[in-house]
Amino acid sequence: MVPISYYLILSGIVFLIGFVGVLLRRNIIIILLSVELMLNATNINFVAFSQYFHDVAGQVFVFFALTVAAAEVAVGLAIIIALYRAKSAINIDEFQLLKW
């Protein structure tokens, strides 16, 4: 039996990597991939606790998180395509109209 703290540590590590990736990378696609990493980290937590408490509700919540992730990917990639049409680039350095 693996202690639940191991799962928490693994989840924390993956979440941290995804967080740093969002801040570090310039490519919008990689930023979205990092968001996927963070979502997966939380899902690992949910499933670990679901198994730990013998309550299937955690897995149902992961199911909903997956739905939202799919929606996020569809809309996010559509936004990326629209951005690419506007500027022919997907580096976030190019998009600073709102910066002062």
Partner 1 sequence: MEQVVFFYFALVIAAASVLVVALRNPIYSALALLIMFFHVAGLYVTLHAEFLAAVQIIVYAGAILVLYLFVVMLLNLRQDDRYHRQWPMAGIVGATLVIEAIILTVMKGWTSPVVATGTETTVGATTNAGAIGDVLYSTYLFPFEVASLILLVAMIGAIMLAKKDIGEC
CB of 15 to partner 1, least distance (A): 9
CB of 8 to partner 1, least distance (A): 9
Find the binder of partner 1 among 54, 98, 99, 100 (CB under 8 A): 54
Binding status of residue 70 toward partner 1 by CB under 8 A: yes
Cα–Cα distances (Å) from 98 to 29, 60, 83, in that order, read: 20, 39, 15
Q: Give the count of residues interacting with partner 1 (CB under 8 A).
A: 67
Query: Rounded to whole angstroms, how far apart are CA atoms 44 and 62?
Result: 9
Q: Are 61 and 43 in contact (CB under 8 A)?
A: no
Binding status of residue 27 toward partner 1 by CB under 8 A: yes
